[in-house]
Amino acid sequence: MSQLAHLCNQSIIRLVYSLLMNNSKKPDICASSPIFNLVFSPAYNTNLPAFGLNKPFALDRGELVLKALHEEFGTPMAVAAPQPLSMEDVLLVHSLAYVQTLEDEQTWLEIFELKAEELHRQTATKALTELIEDFLLKSGGTLLAARLALENGLAANLGAGYHHAFPDRGRGYCVINDVAITIRKLQQEKLIKTAMIVDLDFHQGDGTAKTFAGDASVFTLSVHSQEGWPEEKQQSSLDVGILESEKETYLPRMKAAVEAALSQFTPDLVIFIAGSDVYEKDTLPGTKFLRLPLAVLKERDEFVIDTFKKREIPLAMVFAGGYGPHVWEVHHLAVRHLLISSGIKFSAQICS
């Protein structure tokens, strides 16, 4: 057994907790599992009102995906529990000057696009700056998912995807760029030399594009709404901006873009930013330009997973954008396909 598999054995949690099982039974510890593909912690479902925030982030997406998979396959999915990134990891991408500003509430208000009076202090029991622990944990999940992908071929972190964070600032609800940090960490450890980012979120992956601009070791592909935020786009290795009037071309243009990227670049690892904010049931007003049906997004995600699996390129998926009570449906189908493509034998996930 590899060292990574041994470490994952120690951190596997069998998700039999009250929200999934409708009782108060505590989680069991799953001693062994043949393949580790999913990274998750119940702490991903952040209690935003405790920080004075009221935003339509679908932070329960991971829980809902796991619940649906449990109902489908008759057993809870085994998942690896992440560890938070260290600040040393964060500084592989972000400047010290920026990181120090995260001790200031005003920085967080700007990242979350709030005025001071819009912070619901009456419900807050924690300082807004304490949210850094939340981002460090979920970003640590992306790093672990990438490690698992290198080990097993396919993996997913059931959250994160903070692609708008720049090296010197956070923006668009993204405080630190987990995708960029993961790539730099794995490069530092010499586990990979090259990486590709396939970003299919509604919004352009401007933070990752800026971070890796001019870096020949990382290829950034972004297929996004041309009319949507950010108004000022960055230059990725390959950008495909789609207008509202062109949304019927989304699938063929996305597929062509992935093929074009692979014709130019062969990565050691791909990080797939599988945003669900292009879904027709997304509730964020700013995503109105691309409202695509579930069947289109199912085909999108299956195409990406299958394309890289066929080429034997390790793929780690993250959730990124998605707002409202229904966007988890997109991720459910993607994670389900990823597991089946991995050859998971669901009966083998039952812990004795």
The predicted-structure confidence for 244-293, as pLDDT tens digits, reads as follows 999 999 999 999 999 999 999 999 999 999 999 999 999 999 999 999 99
CA neighbor of 156 nearest in space, from 345, 333, 312, 350: 333
**Range name among 114-118, 186-190, 225-229 with the lowest pLDDT average:** 114-118
Buried b (16+ CB within 10 A) or exposed e, 174-209: bbbbbbbbbbbbbbeeeebebbbbbbbbbbbbbbbb
Element (H, E) at 71: helix 61-73
Instruction: Say whether pLDDT at 157 is over 90.
Output: yes
pLDDT band at 35 (very low <50, low <70, confident <90, very high): low
On the question of a cis peptide bond just before residue 230, with omega within 30 degrees of 0, the verdict is yes
Share of the chain above pLDDT 70, in %: 88
SS (H, E, C) 133-160: HHHHHHHHHHHHHHHHHHHHCEEEECCC
Pick left, alpha or beta for residue 172 (phi over 0 → left; psi -120 to 50 → alpha; otherwise beta): left
Residue 109, judged by CB atoms within 10 A of its CB (0-12, 13-18, 19+), counts as middle
Whether 129 shows a pLDDT value over 70: the answer reads yes
| 111: pLDDT strictly greater than 50 | yes
How many CA atoms, within 13 angstroms, populate the side-chain half-sphere of residue 244? 8
pLDDT of 210 > 80? The answer is yes
Question: What is the residue-averaged pLDDT of the chain?
Answer: 88
pLDDT computed for residue 299 by the predictor: 98
The first and second tokens of residue 191, run together, are 């586990």
- Do you know the residue count of the chain? 352
Asked whether residue 15 carries a pLDDT value surpassing 90, the answer given is no
Task: Taking the CA atoms of 233, 238, 243 and 244 in sequence, report the sign of the dihedral they define.
Answer: negative
Task: Return the CATH number at 46.
Answer: 3.40.800.20
Residue with tokens 């622990």, as numbered in its chain: 133
Percent of the chain with pLDDT over 90: 78
Please count the structural domains in the chain. 1
* Separation of CA 188 from chain center: 21
* Numbers of helices and strands, H then E, in the chain: 12, 10
Higher local confidence (pLDDT), 322 or 351? 322
Report pLDDT for 345: 58
pLDDT, residue 318, reads 98
pLDDT at 24 over 80: no
Joined together, the tokens standing for residue 352 give 């004795």
Q: Is the CB of residue 333 less than 8 Å from the CB of residue 295?
A: no
Residue 76: pLDDT band (50, 70, 90) is: confident
The CA radius of gyration of the chain, in Å to the nearest whole number, is 19
Residues near 340 by beta carbon (within 8 Å), at least 6 away in sequence: none
Range of the domain at 296: 3-349
Q: pTM for this one?
A: 0.88
Q: Are 180 and 188 in contact (CB under 8 A)?
A: no
Q: How many CA atoms lie within 13 A of 350 on its CB side?
A: 6
Contact call for residues 14 and 28 (beta carbons, < 8 A): yes
